[in-house]
């Protein structure tokens, strides 16, 4: 049993699934504040810096809400994933037309997926925060027009950065990964567990159901 | 609608799931003949050649059974996945002790996963067969003893080549992929769909439920 409850500050079903895959016990607390929009990409800010800045902000927002509700001890896990094509952010598509356009741009090319992960430990009035980022390079198969059309019609692209999900119907779109797979799904799992261990001072087994 | 029924010559739940992820319609026909054991690794036979030889044999065995039952038109999909560490095959572990040993050897190291895929088209007395192989390099995190112990206790390693499943509890063991992810799960999805298209002369949409 962990000494401190773990809160996931994300509504993403993919992140919930990944934590469950590692048998981690957690509660969800999504801060009421809206997710920060992806900022205009500043020249000097790298993908990793952008996603860490956003995951930090999500963790802080969650901590503020938990404190306001009287909670004094908690571990908070926040994450943010963005897709970068030639240094431009591809966010969630606004409609099917934009999803088709994004997929056409990804077709046959390499792109980068970056996830920022922040763990914040609240302990009375003190808090400790640490964040990491993981980047993965992803190469798409060249996609035929009717294949893009089929994929968009599944509805899967609509709530996903870059207009695809590597773990669903989108699995057939990807030719190669260079780096972490779970990072592309939304949470680099091994790195996240190590970060939890480091901040909490507990081994990962303290957070697991299945022992 | 495909003109010809598609048979998957494999009992692997992972392969069924992957085909379903691409919305492919298929039936399962596992040839009664036992799977060929992984042969002693011959000096001159590469991982890709070994898995193709085995997937070819599975497809042929399936075709023979379907012909014997009076079927004259079918597409058959067979596959075989093996894990190679320094040119040695890691097959399914015999027991928990062997699973622990395999995971210790994989810990912190790169290994290779190779899948052979064969598509065989039966058309009256004629048949056409084509096979491919895909290899992926996989790097494990350094695994602490209690983490290996926990993972083996989940039971997941027992029916899997190399004693792990990348898509289950094992997701947290893998640091990096270099190449296809679905190949490591058991069927390189995009390559398999292309092979089906090539042999059948139909676009992949002819095999899909979701249109």
The reply to whether residue B180 touches residue A177, judged by beta carbons under 8 angstroms, is yes
- CA-CA-CA-CA torsion for B176, B177, B181, B183, nearest 10 degrees? -130
Instruction: Report the mean per-residue pLDDT for chain A.
Output: 92
The reply to whether residue A189 touches residue B172, judged by beta carbons under 8 angstroms, is yes
Q: How confident is the model at residue B69 (pLDDT cuts 50, 70, 90)?
A: very high
| CATH code linked to domain A6-207 | 3.90.950.10
What pLDDT is attached to residue A32?
79
* B149-174: average pLDDT: 94
Q: How confident is the model at residue B87 (pLDDT cuts 50, 70, 90)?
A: confident
Residue B208 tokens read as 């899909």
The CA distance from B51 to B113, in Å, is 10
pLDDT one-digit tens code per residue, A149-164: 999 999 999 989 999 9
What pLDDT is attached to residue B204?
87
Strand extents, DSSP E, chain B: 6-8, 27-28, 73-85, 88-90, 110-123, 126-140, 174-179
Q: Which residue has the higher pLDDT, B45 or B104?
A: B104
What pLDDT is attached to residue B45?
86
- CA nearest B138: which of B101, B163, B116, B159? B163
Distance from CA of B22 to the nearest CA of A (A): 5
Contacts of A144 (CB under 8 A, 6+ apart): B203
* Of A56, A80, A95, A159, catalytic: A80
Residues of B in contact with A176 (CB under 8 A): 178-180
**Interface residue B181 vs chain A (CB under 8 A):** yes
Question: B2 pLDDT exceeds 70?
Answer: no
Q: How confident is the model at residue B185 (pLDDT cuts 50, 70, 90)?
A: very high
What pLDDT is attached to residue B135?
98
CA distances to A56, A76, B105, B125 from A49, in Å: 10, 20, 35, 62
Residue B169 tokens read as 């509890």
- CA nearest B185: which of B13, B55, B11, B63? B13
What pLDDT is attached to residue A209?
80
Query: Whose structure tokens read 């809400």?
Result: A65
Residues of A in contact with B166 (CB under 8 A): 181
The reply to whether residue B177 touches residue A182, judged by beta carbons under 8 angstroms, is no
Q: What is the DSSP letter of A189?
A: H
Q: ipTM of the assembly? A: 0.90
The CA distance from A142 to A144, in Å, is 7
The CA distance from B173 to B185, in Å, is 14
Q: Which residues of chain A have pLDDT under 50?
A: none
């Amino acid at each position: 049993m962990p000494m401190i409850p773990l809160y996931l500050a994300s509504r993403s079903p993919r992140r919930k699934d990944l934590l469950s895959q590692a048998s981690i016990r957690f509660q969800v607390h999504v801060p009421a504040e809206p997710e920060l929009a992806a900022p205009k990409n500043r020249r000097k800010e790298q993908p990793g810096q952008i996603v860490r800045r956003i995951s930090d902000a999500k963790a802080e927002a969650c901590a503020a809400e938990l404190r306001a509700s009287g909670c004094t001890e908690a571990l908070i896990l926040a994450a943010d994933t963005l897709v970068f094509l030639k240094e431009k952010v591809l966010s969630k598509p606004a409609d099917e037309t934009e999803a088709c356009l994004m997929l056409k741009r990804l077709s046959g090319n390499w792109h980068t997926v970056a996830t920022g992960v922040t763990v914040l430990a609240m302990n009375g009035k003190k808090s400790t925060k640490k964040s990491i980022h993981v980047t993965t390079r992803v190469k798409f198969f060249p996609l035929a027009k009717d294949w893009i059309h089929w994929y968009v019609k599944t509805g899967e692209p609509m709530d996903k950065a870059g207009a695809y999900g590597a773990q669903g119907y989108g699995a057939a779109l990807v030719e190669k990964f260079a780096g972490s797979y779970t990072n592309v799904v939304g949470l680099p799992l091994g790195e996240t567990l190590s970060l939890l261990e480091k901040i909490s001072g507990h081994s990962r087994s303290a957070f697991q159901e299945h022992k």
